[in-house]
Amino acid sequence: MTSKIKFLLIFLLFNFAINSTAQCKSFAEVQAEKLLGNYIQSGRYNALKLDEGDEMLMYKTLSPGLNYRFIVIGSSDLPANIEFKVLDWNKNVLFDNKKNNYVNHWDFKSAQNQRVRIWVKVPLVNESKRPLRGCIAIITGFKRSSK
């Protein structure tokens, strides 16, 4: 293989990876605007491509006296019923959307400084076919609690 062809292949792979990330970021931005309501987006958008059956884990530090909204949503390329749980640092489940009809968000008031884990799983529904692949966005927002 000539060096020009190798360079072209590397360039195309790199460009594809950047475009995939950009598509997921755009997906997250659009969803955040729709779903955050009167919450303020709390930093960067967390979005990436996942396949059916994939899981991911994200960590978030919460401050006392703030109300938080956790949103987990998958693109239309993925199966419905994306699972997510919010766990405290000791792995106690604070929220499980599977037990709540697979809602895509959860509102929570933090009483203390704490770190939480946000676990996400894309269900596997096409076991005999090539897995579906799409964007997952994890969006967090906050607002001051009313006293």
pLDDT of 128 above 90: no
Sign of torsion over alpha carbons 94, 87, 115, 44: negative
Q: What percent of the chain has pLDDT over 70?
A: 83
Residue 143 · residue 33 · CB < 8 Å: no
CATH number at residue 78: 2.60.120.380
| Residue 81 to residue 41: CA distance in whole angstroms | 24
pLDDT of 68 above 90: yes
Element (H, E) at 59: strand 55-62
Strands 55-62 and 105-109: unpaired
Look at the chain and report how many structural domains it folds into: 1
The CB density around residue 97, as the number of other CB atoms within 10 Å, is: 20
Containing structural domain, residue 61: 3-144
DSSP string computed for 73-127: EE-TTS-S--EEEEEETT--EEEEGGGGTT-SEEEEE-SS-EEEEEEEE-----T
**19-45 pLDDT tens trace:** 445 778 888 787 777 889 899 988 777
